[in-house]
Structure 1
Amino acid sequence: MYRCAKCNEPIRNMSPIGLQCDKCGSRIFVKERPNVKKILKSD
């Protein structure tokens, strides 16, 4: 899932050509990451 970096609107239609925000027309997007804490063991 991607969000527009300018207006924070979720991107619904993922077309490989001409990807653009429907609301504001921006072409800069941020991929949403799950808010999960990872624990790593060190040796």
Structure 2
Amino acid sequence: MKEELKETTNSMAPTVKEMVKLGKDMDKMKTNTEIIENGMIPDPKQ
């Protein structure tokens, strides 16, 4: 797998290593349903 990607590919995670880290971070995030079940208000859709 190519380690470095073109800058224009993804500004949030320009390298494969950063994409993997971002994916792991996102897996840990709660869904809106889970947030509502905990009595909290989810972020509005953008």
Q: Shorter-chain TM-score: which interval?
A: under 0.3
Write 1 or 2 for the structure with the bigger share of strand. 1
TM-score by length of 1: 0.16
Q: Which has the higher helix share?
A: 2
Q: TM-score, normalised to structure 2's length? A: 0.16
Higher relative CO (Cα under 8 Å, sequence separation at least 6) belongs to 1
